[in-house]
């Protein structure tokens, strides 16, 4: 029996037949872990990155989405180490979720940027964003890179967090600026990344724009190293009711317009105008729009 559902996820459209196959794999391989199931599904559907690696992280996220919709039932998550709920964890030892440093950013420079790759760094990033960012911390779907930014004087101290993740599937202002049709967007969307979190922890003049500039210098190389594709454009959405977005403009981001206010999960078009945001982009290469508009 097939499932009458189609699923668009992380830039790929899964047909009802493919969703049925995913469910059958999960049902038939009940002894496998979620990691092993994701590996199996990626292999069967040939879901790979441009460099040839399997899209394991995205596939695990997809399986959880399908489970949340009642399409399938996954095995229980394996636990290791501390089994307390993640939200109950305190900030990493000897670190704090706010900095008391204030003044000109030059007085505490050079800023140091570190990709959050170790467990300690990832926990520190999560704790600071959970406590200080107005949206809190949520594991983004698809690919992601997380950065910690440190002041180096008078002591090394965390002063900010920056996260990039998979781009929004469809955004009218961005797509019009690039000149995308649907087919080209599907092929080239992986070369756009979304600045989904920006958190400033110290009252330093120009800190936010300085953080963005330093992270963007290394982002293309880091993203290509981890995901096998080089991004050409960064995008972000700024909540108009909360922020002006001046730090992005100071870091040479380009304002393209406004969103409809629906949000990516409003599939029934019930939230038009509810949360309008400003769309800004930053080219990571010369002629980024022209390169992304190419169909090949």
Do both 60 and 113 map to the same domain?
no
Both structure tokens of 195 = 């600045």
Do both 123 and 248 map to the same domain?
yes
Nearby residues of 206 by Cβ (< 8 Å), 6 or more positions away: 104, 105, 247, 250
The distance between the two most distant Cα atoms of the chain, rounded to a whole number of Å, is 66
The pTM of this model reads: 0.69
Single residue among 19, 43, 68 that ends a domain in this structure: 68
Domain contains 95? no
Single residue among 18, 47, 68 that ends a domain in this structure: 68
Domain contains 263? yes
Domain contains 103? no
Helical pair 34-45 and 16-28, crossing angle rounded to 10 deg: 140
Do both 154 and 257 map to the same domain?
yes
Do both 64 and 117 map to the same domain?
no
Domain contains 210? yes
Do both 139 and 284 map to the same domain?
yes
Do both 135 and 251 map to the same domain?
yes
Q: Residue 178: exposed, middle, or buried by beta-carbon count in 10 A (0-12, 13-18, 19+)? A: buried
Domain contains 76? no
What is the residue-level pLDDT of the chain in tens, covering all 296 positions?
A: 444 466 778 878 888 889 988 988 888 776 788 888 898 898 888 898 887 888 888 899 899 889 888 889 998 886 554 444 343 344 444 455 556 777 788 888 889 999 999 999 999 999 999 998 988 888 776 688 999 999 988 888 899 999 999 888 889 999 999 999 988 988 888 899 999 999 988 888 889 899 999 999 999 999 999 888 899 999 999 987 888 788 999 999 999 999 877 554 444 444 444 578 999 999 999 999 999 998 65
Residue 7 has a pLDDT of: 74
Do both 59 and 138 map to the same domain?
no
Domain contains 96? no
Domain range spanning residue 146?
108-293
Domain contains 94? no
Q: Report the domain count for the chain.
A: 2
Do both 61 and 120 map to the same domain?
no
Domain contains 79? no
Residue 262 has a pLDDT of: 55
User: What are the angstrom distances between the C-alpha of 241 and each of 142, 244, 245, 276, 278?
Assistant: 28, 8, 11, 8, 10
Residue 88 has a pLDDT of: 34
CATH of the domain at 174: 3.40.630.30
Do both 149 and 252 map to the same domain?
yes
Do both 130 and 45 map to the same domain?
no
Do both 247 and 123 map to the same domain?
yes
Do both 31 and 122 map to the same domain?
no
């Amino acid at each position: 029996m097939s499932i009458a559902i189609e699923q668009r996820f992380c830039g790929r459209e899964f047909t009802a037949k493919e969703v049925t196959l995913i469910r059958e794999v999960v049902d038939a391989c009940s002894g496998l872990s979620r990691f092993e199931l994701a590996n199996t599904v990626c292999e069967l559907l040939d879901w790979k990155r441009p460099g040839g690696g399997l899209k394991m992280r995205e596939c695990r996220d997809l399986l959880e989405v399908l489970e949340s919709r009642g399409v399938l039932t996954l095995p229980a998550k394996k636990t290791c180490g501390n089994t307390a709920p993640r939200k109950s964890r305190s900030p990493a030892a000897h670190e704090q979720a706010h900095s008391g440093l204030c003044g000109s950013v030059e007085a505490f420079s050079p800023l140091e940027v570190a990709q959050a790759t170790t467990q300690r760094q990832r926990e520190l990033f999560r704790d600071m964003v959970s406590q200080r960012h107005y949206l809190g911390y949520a594991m983004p779907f698809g690919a992601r890179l997380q950065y910690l930014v440190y002041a180096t004087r008078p002591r090394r101290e965390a002063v900010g967090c920056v996260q990039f993740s998979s781009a929004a599937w469809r955004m009218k202002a961005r797509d019009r600026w690039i000149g995308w049709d649907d087919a080209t967007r599907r092929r080239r969307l992986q070369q756009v990344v979304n600045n989904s979190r920006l958190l400033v922890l110290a009252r330093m003049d120009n800190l936010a724009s300085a953080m963005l500039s330093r992270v963007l210098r290394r982002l293309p190389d880091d993203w290509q190293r981890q995901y096998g594709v080089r991004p050409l454009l960064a995008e972000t959405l700024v909540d108009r009711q909360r922020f002006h977005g001046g730090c992005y403009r100071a870091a040479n981001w380009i304002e393209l317009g406004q969103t409809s206010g629906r949000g990516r999960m409003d599939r029934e078009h019930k939230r038009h105008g509810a949360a309008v945001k400003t769309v800004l982009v930053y080219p990571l290469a010369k002629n980024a729009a022209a390169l992304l508009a190419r169909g090949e």
